Amino acid sequence: MPTTSTSAPAADRTQAGRSRIGFAGICLGYFAIILDGSVLNVAVPALRSDLGSTMPGAQRVLNAYTLVLAGLLLTAGALGDRLGHRRLLLAGLGVFTASSAACGAADSTAVLVAARAVQGLGAAGLLPATLALVPHLFPAGPRRERATVVWVAIGAGAMAVGPFVGGVLIDALGWRSIFLLNLPIGIAAAALVRAGVTETPRQRSQVDRAGQLLAAVGLGLITGGLISGGAAGWTSPVTAALLVTGVAAGAVFAVVERRVAAPLLPPSFLADRVRAVAVASALFMGFLFYGALFAMSLYFQQVRGWTPSTAGVALLPFTVGPVLAPLVLYRPLARRFGHARMLVAGFACCATGTALLCTTGPHTGYPLLGAGLLLAGGASTVVFSALTSLLMSAVGTERAGLASGVQNTARQAGALIGVAVFGSVLNTAAFTAHLRISFAMMLVVEFIGIAGGVAVLRATRRT
């Protein structure tokens, strides 16, 4: 008996150590794919100059990655439940790392767009597993809650250092270096995951191929229409055709999901108000955060004439705030006020920061811009921490892969639409005036987010 009692704690400590190692690998892989989405924003002017690309061409470089990622995330989450999240994470890491090397070697916009699409394929396999493995590594309770907040903070940290690191690397080594940075990160992440993560139990499930195809086609057509609107005009037949067929594909997707035996997105999943608002909030935050990052990166370089590294420094309040908010503020405030109230407060603070950014002009003082960026950026991860906690608490561990896939699909779809919309709006000589229009659009989305948070607060009170 004494031997058993002493060996059990030792085994628990060993398992806890393995879990920490595995979680470190998961976070490193997550860091790489979020970094890749934020670091490229400051590279747009350099890419256009070196490859002779247009603004729509630069948007395609940004969106090729996000489009494939958003289009495949739901299937990847379901495949992780079916095949094992560890296996899918390692496969995704391999594809993502190899395609990053191809991006660094690209000699034309077309080649870079193709390599970015393959990057998105790897990230789609990796991303849902990073969150779905958290319940597998940590039991329900404080350790799992802490790991979830750390997961959010890691993504925020990648967004924080992305513009700054990207700017420094571009000024020193050129834009190709921002892709080559993924190689050592991907290798290290794979080694840690192999050492610390065991395979998850497999769930029997079918793949909804029709739903997958319709979701990807719908997103692609709508994004293409938004980009075309800025390049060819909103009354162009091409723009109208892309948007109409994209919306039609989305409508057919909704019908198909109600009729197939194993839907990609079960209608019952979004029938719950808390889950529905959490997913919608993820869509809004992808739109707001990545749209603002894209717009302000262009503003600092094209209007103020700053270098990529200087623009990266100027964006630090927007990107550092999201790191500090979940690590320092969110957990104690959420324990006191609850996740639903934090969702409402986060959207309200985002709206306040965006209101300050509405004053942006050619000679606006940086302290005012910095305050707006800090408030909007910090509040964005308060919202993201709240919606993640609400969503994961509203599903069982057997649906963790689906929940992760839905949440990340919504966020990436929001980012995709944000870059497409604001790239189209800002593709004009009257950049500053249209920048203010962009921030006004963001305010409307933030007020809708506040209303959704209030609805969740009422639902949780009734429960």
For 32-41, what is the mean pLDDT?
A: 78
Q: How confident is the model at residue 353 (pLDDT cuts 50, 70, 90)?
A: very high
Q: How many residues does the chain have?
A: 463
**Do the beta carbons of residue 211 and residue 253 sit within 8 Å?**
yes
For 359-375, what is the mean pLDDT?
A: 90
Per-residue pLDDT tens over the stretch 257-286: 888 877 877 777 787 888 888 889 999 998
Per-residue pLDDT tens over the stretch 283-303: 999 899 888 888 888 899 888
For 438-451, what is the mean pLDDT?
A: 92
Query: 158 vs 35, 103, 195, CA distance in Å?
Result: 5, 19, 23
Residue 26 pLDDT greater than 70, yes or no: yes
**Do the beta carbons of residue 265 and residue 211 sit within 8 Å?**
yes
Terminal Cα-to-Cα distance of the chain (whole angstroms): 46
Per-residue pLDDT tens over the stretch 313-325: 888 888 776 666 6
Residue 15 pLDDT greater than 70, yes or no: no
Residue 1's pLDDT is 45
Helix ranges (DSSP H) in 262-325? 273-298, 308-314, 316-324
Helix pair 44-51, 55-83: axis angle to 10 deg: 110
Q: How confident is the model at residue 65 (pLDDT cuts 50, 70, 90)?
A: confident
Higher per-residue confidence, 345 vs 72: 345
Helix pair 2-39, 142-173: axis angle to 10 deg: 40
Mean pLDDT of the chain: 81
Interatomic CA distance for residues 398 and 42, integer angstroms: 40
pTM (2 d.p.): 0.71
Q: How confident is the model at residue 178 (pLDDT cuts 50, 70, 90)?
A: confident
Interatomic CA distance for residues 372 and 349, integer angstroms: 10
Domain 14-194+262-462, CATH class in plain words: mainly alpha
Structure letter (DSSP) for residue 142: H
Higher per-residue confidence, 427 vs 7: 427
Question: Which residue in the block uniquely carries the two structure tokens 């194993």?
Answer: 262
Which residue type sits at 279? V
Of the candidates 461, 455, 449, the residue with the CA atom closest to the CA atom of residue 348: 449
